[in-house]
Amino acid sequence: MRKYEEDKEYRKAFDELELPFKIAKNIIMLRKLKGMTQTDLAKMIHTKQSVISRIEQANHNVTIKKLEEIAVALDTSVEILITKEIKPKGKEEEAGGLAQI
13 part of a folded domain = yes
For residue range 60-81, list pLDDT tens digits in order: 889 999 999 999 999 999 999 9
For residue range 23-62, list pLDDT tens digits in order: 998 999 999 999 999 999 999 999 999 999 999 998 888 9
Residue range of the domain that includes 42: 8-83
Nearest to 26 by CA among 69, 68, 59, 71: 71
Please list, in sequence order, all residues whose beta carbon lies within 8 angstroms of the beta carbon of residue 47, skipping any fewer than 6 positions away. 66
**Against a cut of 0.85, is the pTM above it?**
no
Task: Find residue 87's DSSP bridge partners.
Answer: 99
| Domains of the chain: total | 1
Backbone angles phi, psi at 54, to 5 degrees: -65, -40
96 part of a folded domain = no
Where residue 25 sits, what CATH number does that domain have?
Answer: 1.10.260.40
